[in-house]
Structure 1
Amino acid sequence: MLWVDYAKGICIVAVVMMYATHHVQQILRSEGWMEYVVRFAQPFRMPDFFMIGGLFVARVIDRPWRRYIDSKVLYFIYFYTIWVSFRFSYTDLREAVNEGTVLTEYLRLFLAPPSGPLWFIYILALFFIAVRLVRGWRPGLVLALSAGLHVADLHTGVTLFDKFSQYFIFFYGGHLLARHVFSLAAWSQHHLAFAPPLLAAWFVLNGWAVFTGVAALPGVSLLLGFGGAIAVMLAAVLCSRVTWLDWLRWLGRHSIVIYLGFVIPLGVLRIFIHRSAGIVDPGTVALATTIGSIAGAVLLYQAVRRTPLRFLFARPAWTHLSPPAPARERA
């Protein structure tokens, strides 16, 4: 399904854009026009990612626990472990050594993810476990409970609990409504003329809700999240018909590569950001930083994929509990 890769590509660009824009604003201590783009995408940026993740759960949920855990839990735990270890080594290791708390501080990262994008990798593993555990429950009950957690907008200070409460509804919703989403995508592929006016109406409604503050009201964010996810799907269907946008499909297909790798070029670009102060407006700097971070992640992946460092983006065979499934069974 080409539109799935395009949708993931749209989302990963939006995620990198958010981190790059905030990074630039923190350094330059000034907001630019990109802040409005980031705010516009906030209601659907992560919900769409999670809904797409849930769309294909039905294909794997009946696997034996061993294979399910191997492919849908340990997969994410592996990448989290690798990248959180690197982060710990260059941010917190020296202070932990001085205080004699290296092991304690390192293990704490597996209970409370650090600030930054790595929480997304961790929470996906929890979502796959949760969906499997509630498989025998009434879907309507699970949907109602997860929607209630989202609407409650909990801020306990426990990152994993708060993120789980905020986003599980979209992952489970993707799983529960997968058949309808695929049907809508198939319909839109044969009725492309309806997509532009629907997207225009959504664009106006989403923008109005965000910039008037309505998007923050209880329940509204839930509607905007699912509505935005459907809008991204429609946009992805349109993008799949444009050959020169194939690069967006590649980014979506390799979204975990971009998600894990963009922080390295983003850090390197600090020099560029500092030198741009007072010369280029912060919005344009943020856009350039977004493009540079994505391009840097792609170059990093291409540079290591055939070297011993490929473990950064490819899970080694020895980390599997069982032999990898045949290609036709992977999901």
Structure 2
Amino acid sequence: MPDWLRTVNDFLLPYRMPTLMFLSGLLVPRSLEKPLTRYYWGKYQLVLWPYLIWSGIHMVQHIPAGPITNPQNWIATGYLWFLFFIGVYYSIAPFMRYFPAWCPPTFFAIMALALPEGHPERFAYFAIFFFSGALVATHAKLLDAILRGGWVIGGAGLVAVAFGTLATRVDTQYETWGAPFSICGIAVAIYLASRVNGRSWTIPFRFIGRSSLVFYVAHFPIIYGAWTLFTLWSDARPDTISIALFFLALSACTGLAYFQNIPPIKWLFRAPSFPSISTKKWK
């Protein structure tokens, strides 16, 4: 990886996955307005099902991730750990509403500090952002403070730039003490996105956003499979192959996203509905 690209990657590291977790948490209060049967059925269809499908594909394709027969390998499998984590967060979210909204992120912050390195620590660390998103969603004034901008966003922007710069020099990944600084960057990202929302040039990005599950689960198997073929048949430089793989994955995922509502492609990303389970009775 070129040094400049590694630097950009490290700068964004405190904000990329925390932002996705935060945005997922923003959807929790609205989702919980549904009856619990409908709520959990939706999470099974759109979270658990694609996780199981693509985890199986990943373990079959990527030997170090297997064997597929080992139940432990199905826990936070490879690049799909994000989907596993939010699946668990969504599962426990209905029980968290019996506590003040500030309790879950505080509880998981304490857990992240106490747990050893590895999946348990990461699980607690990202839960801070997920349930912080739910907290903001239940307090309109907090979200208004972000969207109105002004000195709040200006200050948050300075903090985010400083912390991102620090992340290029020091390993800050999964460090609980850095969570407040990451939230500053998330606030800036939300503010900037609100300012460009609806612009014509954002149409491709909104398409990707609405189909983010497709791009997320499908990109790695496409890249990994094509990389294996390219390295067998081509003597091209790795950076040249990487550029080709980027556009190949982008094109393939766009095609899958465009046809994602048509069986059997649909069943790669959403569990089939059965006649005995009708959403009409829950409306």
TM-score class normalised by the smaller sequence: 0.7 to 0.9
Out of 128, 140, 145, the residue aligned to residue 169 of structure 1 is 128
Structure 1 residues 293 and 238, CA gap change in structure 2 (3 angstroms)? farther
* 1:313 corresponding residue in structure 2: 269
Distance 1:304 1:132 in 2: 29
Distance 1:53 1:254 in 2: 14
Contact 1:51 1:172 in 2 (8 A): yes
- 1:257 matched to 2:214? The reply is yes
Contact 1:55 1:174 in 2 (8 A): yes
Out of 179, 184, 189, the residue aligned to residue 145 of structure 2 is 184
**Pairwise CA RMSD:** 3.4
- 1:57 matched to 2:21? The reply is no
Distance 2:76 2:172 in 1: 27
Contact 2:125 2:176 in 1 (8 A): no
Contact 1:48 1:229 in 2 (8 A): yes
- 1:204 matched to 2:161? The reply is yes
What per-residue deviation string (whole Å, max 9, x for no partner) do you get for residues 178-203 of structure 1? 22453235424xx7x997x6686355
State the AA in 2 paired with 1:109.
N
What per-residue deviation string (whole Å, max 9, x for no partner) do you get for residues 219-272 of structure 1? 442122211211211221233253212111111111101101111331244255
What per-residue deviation string (whole Å, max 9, x for no partner) do you get for residues 267-296 of structure 1? 244255764427xxx4x7656544442332
What per-residue deviation string (whole Å, max 9, x for no partner) do you get for residues 81-121 of structure 1? 1112222333459x86xxxxx6x42x3333x2322x21111
Aligned pairs (5 A) from 1:283-298? 286=242, 289-298=245-254
Cα offset, 1:303, TM superposition? 5.3
Distance 1:142 1:226 in 2: 16
State the AA in 1 paired with 2:73.
L
Secondary structure, in 3 states, of the residue corresponding to 1:138?
A: coil
Aligned pairs (5 A) from 1:212-251? 212-213=169-170, 215=172, 218-240=175-197, 242-251=199-208
Distance 1:319 1:171 in 2: 34
State the AA in 1 paired with 2:148.
W
TM-score by length of 2: 0.81
Say which structure, 1 or 2, has more relative contact order (CA 8 Å, 6+ apart). 1
Secondary structure, in 3 states, of the residue corresponding to 1:71?
A: helix
Distance 1:145 1:260 in 2: 30
Query: For structure 1, which runs of at least 5 residues remain unmatched after alignment?
Result: 1-24, 26-30, 97-101
Overall identity of the aligned pairs, in %: 19
Distance 1:78 1:63 in 2: 20
Distance 1:81 1:63 in 2: 25
Cα offset, 1:153, TM superposition? 6.3
Structure 1 residues 72 and 303, CA gap change in structure 2 (3 angstroms)? closer
What per-residue deviation string (whole Å, max 9, x for no partner) do you get for residues 24-74 of structure 1? x5xxxxx44221121111101111111111112111224332122112345
Structure 1 residues 124 and 315, CA gap change in structure 2 (3 angstroms)? same
Contact 2:111 2:121 in 1 (8 A): no
Give the paired residue count: 277
Query: For structure 2, which runs of at least 5 residues remain unmatched after alignment?
Result: none
State the AA in 1 paired with 2:128.
I
Distance 1:108 1:53 in 2: 26
Contact 1:56 1:175 in 2 (8 A): yes
State the AA in 1 paired with 2:256.
L
State the AA in 1 paired with 2:274.
W
Contact 2:46 2:269 in 1 (8 A): no
- 1:138 matched to 2:109? The reply is no
Distance 2:156 2:101 in 1: 30
Contact 1:70 1:322 in 2 (8 A): no
Contact 1:215 1:224 in 2 (8 A): no
Distance 2:225 2:87 in 1: 30
What per-residue deviation string (whole Å, max 9, x for no partner) do you get for residues 124-179 of structure 1? 11101222122212334333211222344631x4x3x3332111011111101222
